Amino acid sequence: MSGVWGNKLKISIFGESHGVGIGVVINGLPTGFEVDWDEVLVEMARRAPGQNDLTTPRKESDLPEVLSGLFEGKTTGAPLTAIIRNQDTRSKDYSQLKNIMRPGQADYPGHVRYGGHNDHRGSGHFSGRITAPLVFAGAICKQLLAEKGIMIGSHIKSIGTIQDISFNETTVTKEQLEKFKTEQLPVFNEAKAEEMKQLILAAKQEGDSVGGTVECMVLGLEAGYGNPFFDSIESTLAHLMFSVPAVKGIEFGTGFAITELFGSQSNDAYYYEGDQIKTATNHNGGIIGGISNGMPIVFRAAVKPPASITKKQQTINISEKKDAELVIEGRHDPCIVPRVLPVIEAVTAIGILDLML
């Protein structure tokens, strides 16, 4: 398995969902940077399980333990290594899943790819639990970006068919992005939050699950970062988004709907506001030719419904080589969209910082 990503900033993740722990090694951080530990813990808490009735009841504190790379609160230049020890595991819930393949999960392709040697408990290294180390790394990257006036935030654009308004439809401030971090279901239209909550609870009651979309914004990034082709902002962020389990799509700016516009409409016209260059619209999501143009970077990521549901499903038993029925036990999220927000922000921060270093 490959667990390494990055160019100037290199991230290496390790661990399994029901192993001793999970963690990350970060290479390439600037030295002498003072880490705000309280802010790191805020980000970790946003992703942590077991916080309310919309998430899995699995209880994990997700407190990172730094093993190297931080001395007297500042980065030393050595690889920053952190481990998050697993505490609330119930591996017996997964005993039948060694041979019975869960639909929608990585059980079958993972079994084939690794010859059946991968840890299947709680999905092992395929688990969304491994995103906790990414949030830790992203929390530090966010702080480094904040020193340059750059802020990353997100909101729930949709749950099922329930839609919130888009970033491009309103003026967004850093205060608004900060406020979103404190909300259980961060949306612009608060009436939609209650509708989304009821849909998630209804799916949970039925033993089912529901997906949605996350809309993310990078505010304050100046023009001139990124490259054409292979290291464009879009390709960098897309690579990282698809490294987050359950993400099945991404679109920037107006996205696929830009195909419905004429060029005269989709082109973002430039204008001067004092000495600042801005665009009248942001159909291209703040990126042209793979390079930032100074406008907010806006994109949406599609998050599929969690595959582990308690409804009876048709599948296969690979040891007996026959069809089977499956009712999944254990503790699972009926919707991971609320918990994936800090993950999307984290990998965005990692990608943007790597392009800036």
Contact 69, 76 (CB under 8 A): yes
Q: 102-111, 226-235, 316-325: which has the minimum mean pLDDT?
A: 102-111
CB of 261 within 8 A of CB of 148? no
How far apart CA 119 and CA 266 sit, in angstroms, is: 48
Question: How far is it, in rounded angstroms, from Cα 89 to Cα 225?
Answer: 43
Nearest to 346 by CA among 124, 24, 83: 24
For residue 105, pLDDT beyond 60: yes
Question: At 180, is the pLDDT very low, low, confident or very high (cuts 50, 70, 90)?
Answer: very high
Mean pLDDT taken over the chain: 92
Query: Does residue 92 register a pLDDT over 70?
Result: no
Q: Would you place residue 143 in the very low, low, confident or very high pLDDT band (cuts 50, 70, 90)?
A: very high
Residue 42 confidence class, pLDDT cut points 50, 70, 90 = very high
Q: Which amino acid belongs to residue 168?
A: N
Distances (CA, A) of 267 to 125, 150, 256, 263, 271: 43, 25, 15, 6, 13
Average pLDDT estimate for 235-242: 98
Q: Is the pLDDT of residue 89 over 80?
A: no
Q: For residue 93, what pLDDT is reported?
A: 55
Structural domains for the chain: 4-356 (3.60.150.10)
More confident residue, 63 or 17: 63
Reduced to 3 states, what is the DSSP secondary structure of residue 222?
Answer: coil
| Binding-site residues from annotation | 47, 125-127, 289, 304-308, 331
Q: What is the pLDDT of residues 334-351, one digit of tens each?
A: 999 999 999 999 999 999
Task: Pick out the residues of the known binding site for FMN.
Answer: 125-127, 289, 304-308, 331
* Collapsed DSSP state (helix, strand, coil) of residue 133: helix
- Return binding residues for NADP(+): 47
pTM of the model: 0.94
pLDDT of 120 > 80? The answer is no
Q: What is the pLDDT of residues 190-212, one digit of tens each?
A: 999 999 999 999 999 999 999 99
344, 136 contact by CB (below 8 A)? no
Percent of the chain with pLDDT over 70: 94
Residues near 152 by Cβ (< 8 Å), separated by ≥ 6? 142, 145, 177, 216, 217, 218, 219, 345, 348, 349, 352
